[in-house]
Amino acid sequence: MAFNGLTIAREPTVIWPVTVRLPDDGGTLGEHRITAYIRVYSEREYAKLVPAAAEEIAPRALAEVLAENARLFPRFIVDWEGVTDEAGEPVPVGQLPEIIQGPYGGALSAALWRAIAEVRFGIDASGGATEKNSVPSPAP
């Protein structure tokens, strides 16, 4: 693994792989890979954007959750690649709020929140914490 120097950016953005799982014919879930450009925030900023405690989140209808996601995602997802329409043309990231409230909204929301959490908490895209962000094991 190559190590790079540390660059401190005022408004950091990372390019991150996102896997969206959507229903396919035959009762299976197909995995669709896109790339998201995710804005990284300080913990203070995350706390303002996303409720910190589960108690603050009242049970709501999925349509309400997706409407809230449509409002929040543009703050995090600043661009994307690999999202196309039926004709194979790229879909602009500006359509994200509309897409989140459409038929793929639940699956895409789950995938994007997973990617945002990976970026926020230092978990690599394969699902494990990176070595540099892992807590050392306690001494025996």
Summarize pLDDT for 96-129 with one digit per residue, the tens: 999 999 989 999 999 999 999 999 999 988 765 5
Q: Is the residue at 98 inside a domain?
A: yes
Q: Which domain holds residue 35?
A: 13-124
Tell me whether residue 52 is in a domain: yes
Instruction: Flag whether 134 is in a domain.
Output: no
Spell 15-53 as b/e; 16+ CB within 10 A means b: ebebebeeeeeeeeeeebebebebbbbeeeeeeeebeee
Domains in the chain, number? 1
What is the H or E stretch that residue 107 is in?
A: helix 105-121
- Asked if residue 72 is part of any domain, the answer here is yes
Is residue 56 in some structural domain? yes
Does residue 33 lie in a domain region?
yes
Find the DSSP H helices in 18-87. Answer: 43-49, 62-76
Q: Does 5 or 78 have the greater pLDDT score?
A: 78
**Nearest alpha-carbon partner for 115 in 13, 29, 44:** 13
Do the domain assignments include residue 63?
A: yes
pLDDT at 10: 86
Looking at the DSSP assignment, which residues form a beta bridge with residue 30? Answer: 22
